């Protein structure tokens, strides 16, 4: 478990859900993780936060006035200079989805797709730093990019966020690089080479793992509440993992970390 007071540069600091059914999402994730959902805030376009044990853990919102929700979770990465990151995104072949924008005094946000089509966000904190706890049941556990072009992806994110990597494995059969924590802690995220698995032309994507005490029990609860299993639970060297989609189709993953 890690409790953060100041997020490391480039670390995942927030995640939010863009859902086509706000009320069902609020109920589903409440049943699954014991999260409490705030009421949607009209001042912020209906945005709301999920809390766990009194601490903000994730955000959510529904359809925009002219854009229907895509039923997707988005990972946000920390920066102290969002304008520099936005410029670096464009300079390195990424596509900004909107310009950096202030969210009251909470901070500034920016979203983009990387050159392989993977969507992500950036957060420059003001009064709000993001989630404070990771690796504890019902909190974020791990963040992972899946891409067909690993070399381009690792170069892009290094240029945008200044990431350095530990090469966990670097052979064609299994290529996985971990983002180093500049403060010397555990890795911040992983980048997986999926050129053998993703279909030609399939976009890259960021995958969020939520820590749970018991993956199998959580899968059972999810299924009972309308979820679908994309990848059944299995034991790996990195813990017991499963991949699901919520009742609206948003993908998410579960993890029980190795002891």
Distance from C-alpha of 161 to C-alpha of 103, rounded to nearest angstrom: 21
Q: What is the mean pLDDT of residues 202-210?
A: 97
The model scores a pTM over 0.75: yes
Cβ–Cβ < 8 Å for 60, 252: no
CB contact burial 243-253 (16+ within 10 A = b; e otherwise):
bbbbbbebbbb
Name the strand (E) or helix (H) holding 176. strand 174-179
Percent of the chain with pLDDT over 70: 98
Query: SS3 helix, strand, coil % of the chain, rounded to 5?
Result: 20, 45, 40
What tokens does 132 get?
């404070």
Is the predicted pLDDT of residue 1 greater than 70, yes or no?
A: no
| Residue 1 bridge partners (DSSP) | none
Query: What CATH number belongs to 1-259?
Result: 3.10.180.10
What tokens does 98 get?
């909107």
Question: What DSSP character marks residue 105?
Answer: T
Domain boundaries defined on the chain:
1-259
Is the predicted pLDDT of residue 7 greater than 90, yes or no?
A: no
Q: Report the pLDDT value the prediction gives residue 6, as an integer from 0 to 100.
A: 80
Cβ–Cβ < 8 Å for 18, 249: no
What tokens does 46 get?
């209906």
Query: Between 140 and 4, whose confidence is greater?
Result: 140
- What pairing do the DSSP bridges indicate for beta strands 72-78 and 119-125? parallel
> What is the distance, to the nearest Å, from the Cα of residue 252 to the centroid of all Cα atoms in its chain?
9
pLDDT band at 2; cut points 50, 70, 90: low
pLDDT in tens, 221-236: 999 999 999 999 999 9
Cβ–Cβ < 8 Å for 60, 22: yes
Q: Report the pLDDT value the prediction gives residue 207, as an integer from 0 to 100.
A: 97
pLDDT in tens, 149-188: 999 999 999 999 999 999 999 999 999 999 999 988 889 9
Is the predicted pLDDT of residue 62 greater than 60, yes or no?
A: yes
**Virtual torsion, Cα 207, 240, 155, 58, nearest 10 deg:** 40
Q: Report the pLDDT value the prediction gives residue 184, as an integer from 0 to 100.
A: 86
């Amino acid at each position: 478990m890690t409790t953060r007071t100041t997020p490391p540069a480039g670390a995942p600091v927030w995640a939010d859900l863009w859902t086509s059914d706000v009320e069902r999402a609020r109920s589903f994730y409440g049943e699954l993780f014991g999260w409490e959902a705030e009421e949607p805030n009209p001042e912020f376009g209906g945005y709301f936060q999920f809390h766990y044990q009194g601490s903000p853990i994730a955000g959510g919102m529904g359809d925009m006035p002219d854009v229907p929700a895509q039923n997707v979770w988005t990972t946000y990465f920390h920066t102290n200079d969002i304008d520099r990151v936005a410029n670096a995104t464009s300079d390195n072949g990424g596509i900004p989805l909107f310009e950096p924008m202030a969210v009251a005094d909470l901070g500034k946000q920016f979203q983009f797709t990387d050159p392989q089509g993977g969507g992500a966000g950036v957060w420059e904190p003001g009064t709000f730093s993001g989630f404070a706890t990771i690796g504890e049941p019902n909190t974020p556990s791990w963040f992972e990019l899946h891409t067909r072009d690993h070399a381009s992806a690792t170069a892009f994110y290094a240029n945008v966020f200044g990431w350095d990597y530990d090469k966990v494995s670097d052979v064609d059969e299994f290529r996985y690089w971990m983002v180093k924590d500049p403060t010397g802690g555990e890795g911040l995220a992983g980048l997986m080479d999926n050129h053998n698995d993703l279909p030609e032309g399939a976009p890259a994507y960021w995958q969020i793992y939520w820590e749970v005490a018991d993956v199998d029990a959580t899968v059972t609860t999810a299924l009972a509440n309308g979820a679908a299993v994309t990848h059944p639970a299995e034991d790996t060297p990195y813990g017991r993992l499963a991949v699901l989609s919520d009742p609206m189709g948003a993908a998410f993953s579960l993890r029980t970390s190795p002891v």
